[in-house]
């Protein structure tokens, strides 16, 4: 086990940021912590990176206790905080060199590990970090977190505020790092990124809703979901909300995800109802539940 978290709780004054959190992360696993802002993801990361002390519970990272062996953890983990945390007035190369030095290593020594990522930003190595685009900043931050060849990598919302192209590239990089044997704990508010992890924990309001592989989590969704579409989205949502048999009604892009509370649900019946509400071009078809559907079902 690379990370073991057992019954961790943490409060700030009256706010219960984490309540009885437990999970394990296997060695070499890419584990995702999925939840909205304010769910407690950052607090959990700070407990695991020894920046905060939990009120209750215990945790080990890379085999070391977060409380008593915090110095060893600090030697063995890489941490990328949520906010872009590099020196804006230093160039790419100077930042990287600085972090290599304080971890007692050099860029050359572990260049293999960061090579894939670094070559993408190397053409700009004399540019100051403050002048880089979001995607480039992120790659630099990842290089800095990796430069001392950590056993465990903590990435707190690495893709927040980054455009889709950079996000895609970032996840590709994580997959490659995983193959080099680094355990990765990553947090994100984007449900669509969950599918890219080996296993995920859904977290909200300081509590874990479920832990499993993304496929299993989707499979566990208890209902059949239907994509419903009509000519007027607003009226469609209102009509579905008024429908007495509804179990859940959630807009999902151009569709509404609908599930029914009855076992013997007949879509034709719903269609007739919607037609009675003067909606046109009604389409109802079965669809797969997504992580987001599961999350909402569990958080309800």
CB 76 within 8 A of CB 27: no
In the window 146-175, what residues touch another protein (CB under 8 A)? Answer: 160-166, 168
Instruction: Check binding of 221 to another protein (CB under 8 A).
Output: no
CB 173 within 8 A of CB 113: no
Give CA–CA dist 117/147, Å, rounded: 11
Which residue stretch of 48-56, 172-180, 209-217, 281-289 sits at the interface with another protein (rule: CB under 8 A)? 48-56
CB 259 within 8 A of CB 224: yes
Instruction: Check binding of 296 to another protein (CB under 8 A).
Output: yes
Three-state secondary structure call for residue 220? coil
Give CA–CA dist 88/227, Å, rounded: 46
Which residue stretch of 95-103, 113-121, 218-226, 276-284 sits at the interface with another protein (rule: CB under 8 A)? 95-103
Instruction: Check binding of 98 to another protein (CB under 8 A).
Output: yes
User: What tokens appear for 157 in the block?
Assistant: 């919302």
Which residue stretch of 214-222, 228-236, 268-276, 278-286 sits at the interface with another protein (rule: CB under 8 A)? 228-236
Pairing of strands 15-25, 3-12: antiparallel
CB of 214 to another protein, least distance (A): 15
Give CA–CA dist 274/265, Å, rounded: 15
Instruction: Give the residue, chosen from 122, 233, 283, 288, that forms a contact with another protein under the rule CB under 8 A.
Output: 233
Instruction: Check binding of 242 to another protein (CB under 8 A).
Output: no
CB of 23 to another protein, least distance (A): 20
CB of 37 to another protein, least distance (A): 4
Question: What is the chain's percent helix, strand, coil content, to nearest 5?
Answer: 40, 30, 35
Burial zone of 15 (CB within 10 Å; 0-12 exposed, 13-18 middle, 19+ buried) = exposed
CB of 249 to another protein, least distance (A): 9
DSSP state of 123: G
Q: Indicate the residue among 75 and 285 with the shorter CB distance to another protein.
A: 75
Instruction: Give the residue, chosen from 237, 265, 273, 287, that forms a contact with another protein under the rule CB under 8 A.
Output: 237
Sheet holding 64-65, edge to edge: 15-25, 3-12, 56-61, 64-65
Report the 10 Å Cβ neighbour count for 194. Answer: 24
Instruction: Give the residue, chosen from 36, 57, 63, 267, that forms a contact with another protein under the rule CB under 8 A.
Output: 36
Which residue stretch of 76-84, 171-179, 211-219, 261-269 sits at the interface with another protein (rule: CB under 8 A)? 76-84
- State the residues that interact with another protein by CB under 8 A: 35-39, 46, 49-53, 70-71, 74-75, 77, 79, 81, 83-90, 94, 97-99, 101-104, 133-135, 144, 160-166, 168, 189-192, 204, 232-235, 237, 250-254, 292, 295-296, 299-300
């Amino acid at each position: 086990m690379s990370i073991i978290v057992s019954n961790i709780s943490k409060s700030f004054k009256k706010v219960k940021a984490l309540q009885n959190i437990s999970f394990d992360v296997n060695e070499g696993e890419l584990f995702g912590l999925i939840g909205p802002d304010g769910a407690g993801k950052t607090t959990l990361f700070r407990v695991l990176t020894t920046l905060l002390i939990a009120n209750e519970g215990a945790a080990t990272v890379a085999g070391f206790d977060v409380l008593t062996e915090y110095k060893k953890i600090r030697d063995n983990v890489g941490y990328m905080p949520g906010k872009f945390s590099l020196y804006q007035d230093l160039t790419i190369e100077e930042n990287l060199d600085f972090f290599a030095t304080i971890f007692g290593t050099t860029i050359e020594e572990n260049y293999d590990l960061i090579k894939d990522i670094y070559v993408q930003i190397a053409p700009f190595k004399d540019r100051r970090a403050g002048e880089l685009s979001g995607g480039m900043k992120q790659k630099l931050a990842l290089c800095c977190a990796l430069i001392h060849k950590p056993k465990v990598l903590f990435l707190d919302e690495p893709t927040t505020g980054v455009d889709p192209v950079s996000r895609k590239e970032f996840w590709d990089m994580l997959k490659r790092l995983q193959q080099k044997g680094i355990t990765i704990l990553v947090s994100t508010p984007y449900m669509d990124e969950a599918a890219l992890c080996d296993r995920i924990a859904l977290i909200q309001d300081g509590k874990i809703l479920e832990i499993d592989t993304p496929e299993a989590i989707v499979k566990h969704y208890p209902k059949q979901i239907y994509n419903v579409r009509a000519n007027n989205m607003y009226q469609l949502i209102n009509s579905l909300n008024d429908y007495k048999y509804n179990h859940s009604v959630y807009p999902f892009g151009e569709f509404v995800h609908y599930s029914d509370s009855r076992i013997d649900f007949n879509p034709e019946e719903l269609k007739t109802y919607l037609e009675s509400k003067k909606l046109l071009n009604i389409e109802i078809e079965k669809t797969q539940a997504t992580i987001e559907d599961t999350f909402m079902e569990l958080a309800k």
